[in-house]
Structure 1
Amino acid sequence: MMSAVALVCIWVCGLFSQPGSAVGSSRPRLAGKLVTENFAGLQFEEAYTSLFGDENVKVAEDGKTVMLSLDKRTGSGLLSQDMYLYGLFSASMKLPDDYTAGVVAAFYTSNGDMFPGTHDELDFEFLGNIRGKEWRIQTNVYGNGSTAYGREERYTLWFDPTEDFHQYTILWTEKSTVFFVDDVPIREIPRTDAMGAHYPGKPMSVYATVWDGSDWATKGGRYRVNYKYSPFVVTLANLILEGCAVDPLEQFPAVSCSADTTSSASLSKLAELSEDQKALMEWFRGKYISYSYCDDAVRYPSNPSDCPPRDPHKKIATAHVKFGHHQRHHKKNRKSRRSSSSSAASATVSL
């Protein structure tokens, strides 16, 4: 006969293995290499420059770790020194804890400065929350200026992104784009006829920013940034920019691209998900997706052409879902890493 202690153990373990519980989630195992495994992190001054809020951009003594902060004066951001036509862009990030409502951190690609009317964009956005509530993560894609047609998805995570660093990766190729969190592909965007010119296809820069999104980021703007909890510090490390830099107008590879640069064919191969990776993505999307534009019949009464048929029985919450756009900051005297390894002034600090 089973003891009372054993029965209690079974009951407690059962609680932690319920669907939707991150504590007891059993994710599929991944066989093979991680998508960023063969790429080395760069020094900040090799690859990036300060975009805005220079006084809030702090580079650690190792030269590879960067802290971006938001306070009452300003947010901050960084920008890649080059533009890329397809590539793998990645950063290990740790988000601020405690009360972060209204705070938006982002890691994304864009060419809005170069092509203001027809810009492309691929976004990771991290939306802060009130104390005791978890950060939400959002992905989005714009192509050829299609900013009136958002393709947002929102998720929770299976870990606390404030406790440790986690790797966030955008793998953008001519045929598809895949968003990864650590080794988990969370979203795949194939280039289809239905997307047409809305698939990003022009050279883009890589950005990381933190800023005040009080008007929309948390419960549709109900909870705003409270600066008594500032500064809100986002720490980035293992900065990876893998791709061939191009002239944004000519769209020809730069002369510095050598034979050992990862080819577009190699990146395309990385974007071909294995069966293990597909299982991981299915696991994630089955447990952690909280919003998809494809399911939003209020926003899009007609099913978007690039979406699968809607499930009429699927319920989604849209009452507090609002979306915002990145604040535009134009960087003067932008330097290319092909011609200079120096960057805009930023403080160096000890961790």
Structure 2
Amino acid sequence: MALKDDFLFIFSCMLAISLSSSILGRPATFLEDFGITWSDSHIKQIDGGRAIQLILDQNSGCGFASKRKYLFGHISMKIKLISGDSAGTVTAFYMNSDTNTIRDELDFEFLGNRTGQPYTVQTNIYTHGKGDREQRVNLWFDPAADFHTYTIMWNHHHIVFYVDEVPIRVYKNNEAINILYPKLQPMGVYSTLWEADDWATRGGLEKIDWSKAPFLAYYKDFDIEGCAVPGPTSCASNPRNWWEGTAYHALNAKEARRYRWVRLNHMIYDYCTDKSRYPVPPRECLAGI
């Protein structure tokens, strides 16, 4: 009987460890959760792998991705963007299902600018292969002077993009009125640094100045807390996951005030109000975002 009890105790401990590792992950170093996907010579580890430097020059940009995919959760990184003249560059932090025509994707894209002009953050959301949901916000601080935290919260109720705990984008789950919402496909976590001067700065009017190269961006404090796939299939539907708690079903009063402040003072483009593209606003815009 004692042997049986010992076995059950050990099995329970192993199961608990397995479940927790599938749900929560705050890696101490970059390589614990990520791998380089593009141009490893342009990504350098710093501080024993607890931070990294991304490099863009005329030879190449670079990128990295999480080793696993996740279905719902809270993903954040601290990023220090390219300093000085960054026009024509894009630093991206995003989630992607990597499923081609039916992909789901949640994008942060940081669009560089000429020295002294504000950095623009573009967000976009793809659901079942349909994107074209761009919004752009000018940051209210210099994101190249220090690290700032950029977060994607994704649960069954909404998707929220945060900058230093300030919500800049909300996409609600409106499946009840037949509006698509990403909830079936796990997504990996990605980042890239690349040249896109055909569109990134003032619609491509401002070109990259290669005399300012190399362009450098820095990342640290990689934090992924979500349901890892492969992993327990019950994880994604578990209402006890902290990001599914009642407090995260909608913005709280403080977040709602901050969100209104961003939209009133710093939003420079919203696809919902672009009548040249959408004479009739998309249904999710009418449903409230």
**TM band (smaller chain):** 0.7 to 0.9
Q: Report the CA distance between 1:64 and its aligned residue.
A: 1.2
Distance in 2 separating the partners of 1:80 and 1:160: 27
Give 1:223-242 correspondences, 5 Å limit.
Answer: 223-242=206-225
Contact 2:26 2:225 in 1 (8 A): no
- Structure with bigger helix share is 2
Q: TM-score, normalised by structure 2?
A: 0.84
Normalized against structure 1, the TM-score is what? 0.70
Distance 1:233 1:308 in 2: 40
The one-letter amino acid paired with 2:207 is R
Is the aligned partner of 1:284 residue 2:262?
Answer: yes
Is the CA contact (8 Å cut-off) linking 1:173 and 1:264 kept in structure 2? no
Equivalents in 2 of 1:245, 1:51: separation in Å?
20
* CA distance in 1: counterparts of 2:287 and 2:180, whole angstroms: 22
Instruction: Please say if 1:160 is aligned against 2:142.
Output: yes
SS at match of 2:44: strand
1:254-278 deviation per Cα after TM superposition (whole angstroms, max 9, x unaligned): 79x8xxxx97631122533211111
Within-5 A mapping of 1:74-153:
74-112=60-98, 115-147=99-131, 150-153=132-135
**1:301-312 matches, cutoff 5 A:** 301-308=279-286
Alpha-carbon distance in structure 1 between the residues aligned to 2:221 and 2:287: 39
Within the candidate set 49, 57, 63, 2:49 is matched to 63
Separation in 2 of the partners of 1:82 and 1:309? 33
2:197 corresponding residue in structure 1: 214
Gap runs ≥5 in structure 2: 1-23
Q: How far apart are the structure 1 equivalents of 2:55 and 2:172?
A: 34
Q: What is the CA distance between 1:305 and its match in structure 2?
A: 0.8
Matched, 1:185 2:167: yes
Pair 1:121–1:216, CA change in 2 (3 A): same
Closer/same/farther in 2, CA of residues 65 and 155 from structure 1, 3 Å limit: same
The answer as to 2:176 corresponding to 1:196 is no
Aligned mates of 2:85, 2:280 — CA distance in 1: 38
Cα distance in 1 for partners of 2:26, 2:188 equals 19
User: What SS does the aligned partner of 1:117 have?
Assistant: helix
Q: Deviations over 1:260-312 (max 9, x none)?
A: xx9763112253321111111112221111110001000111111111389xx
Q: C-alpha separation between the residues in 2 aligned to 1:99 and 1:282?
A: 30
- State the match for 1:16 in structure 2: none
Distance 1:264 1:58 in 2: 38
Are the counterparts in 2 of residues 44 and 64 from structure 1 also a CA contact under 8 Å? yes
Deviations 1:134-178 (A, max 9, x none): 21001110011114xx11100011211011100000011122101
- How large is the RMSD of aligned CA atoms in angstroms? 2.3
**Matches of 1:67 and 1:130, distance apart in 2:** 21
| Change beyond 3 A, Cα 1:73–1:103 | same
The structural deviation recorded for 1:196 is 2.5
Corresponding position: 1:243 with 2:243: no
Aligned to 1:274: 252
Aligned counterparts of 1:219 and 1:82: Cα–Cα separation in 2: 35
Following the alignment from structure 1 to structure 2, what is the Cα–Cα distance between the partners of residues 195 and 101? Answer: 40
Structure 1, gaps ≥5 residues long: 1-37, 311-351
Question: How far did residue 41 of structure 1 move?
Answer: 5.3
Contact kept, 8 Å, 1:170 with 1:180, in 2: the verdict is yes
Aligned residue among 292, 297, 302 for 2:275: 297
Q: 1:120–1:201: 8 Å Cα contact kept in structure 2? A: no
Three-state SS of the structure 1 residue aligned to 2:101 is: coil
Tell me the CA shift for residue 253 of structure 1. Answer: 2.5
**Cα distance in 1 for residues equivalent to 2:268 and 2:68:** 35
Query: What amino acid is aligned across from residue 174 of structure 2 in structure 1?
Result: T
